[in-house]
Amino acid sequence: MPRVLMTGAAGGIGTSLRKLLPPIYPDLLLSDLKAPADLGKDEKFKAADLADMAQVEAICEGVDGILHFGGYSVEGPWDSILQSNIIGGYNLFEAARKKGVKRVVFASSNHAVGFYPRHHRIGTDVTARPDSRYGVSKVFGEAVGALYADKHGLGVTCIRIGNFGEKPLDHRRLSIWLKPEDLVQLCCIGLDHPDIHFEIFYGASYNERAWWDNHRAYELGYRPTGRAEDFREHAMAEQAKLKPDPVGDYYQGGTFCSMEFDGDESRIVDWSKR
C-alpha cells in the first residue's frame, strides 16, 4: 500500500495508531474534522467533513488504501449518527470507488451484535442485533462495504472492534479486549492480504473468555499478542466498583443495551433461549 488514508485521526483509536502505523505505512495521510492538537511536523493531514462528498473525494485522491475510523464513536442523537456514520460512511465508500482506492478497512463495532447474550458464542455470519443507534450505523457500514466489494470490486474488511486499550478495564472487557498492536495486525491483513474480497473480523486479542468465533482472521494470519487474562485481577477489582446492571450484564453490548431500555426485563432470559 503506497499511500494509506486514516480517517478519525484525532479520536482515541486514531491517536494510538498514529504512533504505530508509520513504520509500516510511511506514506500515511491523516484526516478528521480538525487536526489533532499534537500533530507532528512530519505528519500529513487533510481536514474533511465526512458528510460532505466533495471533501471526502478530496482526501481519497491518490490513495491506495483507507483505514476508516472516522465518525461518531459512541451512542448519540439520531441526526448526529446519521450525518457522521451513515451519510459519512456511504460517502467514504463511494469516494473510494470514484478515486480508484483498492482496499478499505471499516471500523465496525461489537455493538452491531450487542443484543446477543454473553453465554451465546457467535461467529461473523450471525444476524445483526444492534444495541443502539450507533450499532445500527455499524450494521449499515458493513452492508455498504459488502455492496461495494461485490458490485464494484473494492477489497473490504470490517473489524467489529471490542474494547480498544492498553488493558481490559472490567469483567466484560476480559472477553472483548483489543490491544492496539493487535488492531494494527488486523488492519494490515485488510490492506495487504491478497485474498481479501469482503471479510468481517472481530477486533479482539487472545481472550480466553471470548464470546466470538474469529477463526477467519486466524486463517488469514492473525496472531494476537495481547492476553486478557494477564489483567484479570485488575479487571475484576474495577468490576467490583460498578453497580449491577441486569440488562447490560446479560448482553454482550453491556451498557449500550441497558441505555434507554424500556422493554420487559423478565423476558430477557426467555428470549435468549428461543
* Cα–Cα distance, 50 to 37 (Å, whole number): 20
Range of the domain at 136: 4-272
Contact 177, 209 (CB under 8 A): no
Q: What is the pLDDT along the chain (274 residues), one digit of tens a residue?
A: 689 999 999 999 999 999 999 999 999 999 999 999 999 999 999 999 999 999 999 999 999 999 999 999 999 999 999 999 999 999 999 999 999 999 999 999 999 999 999 999 999 999 999 999 999 999 999 999 999 999 999 999 999 999 999 999 999 999 999 999 999 999 999 999 999 999 999 999 999 999 999 999 999 999 999 999 999 999 999 999 999 999 999 999 999 999 999 988 877 764 444 4
Contact 14, 30 (CB under 8 A): yes
The CATH number for 121's domain is: 3.40.50.720
Cell 459488502 belongs to residue: 146
Cell 488514508 belongs to residue: 5
- Residues catalogued as catalytic: 134
Cell of 206: 487472545
Cell 469482503 belongs to residue: 198
* Cα–Cα distance, 52 to 30 (Å, whole number): 17
Number of structural domains the chain divides into: 1
Closest CA relative to residue 152, chosen from 89, 87, 97, 92: 97
| Close Cβ partners of 270 (under 8 Å, ≥ 6 residues apart) | none
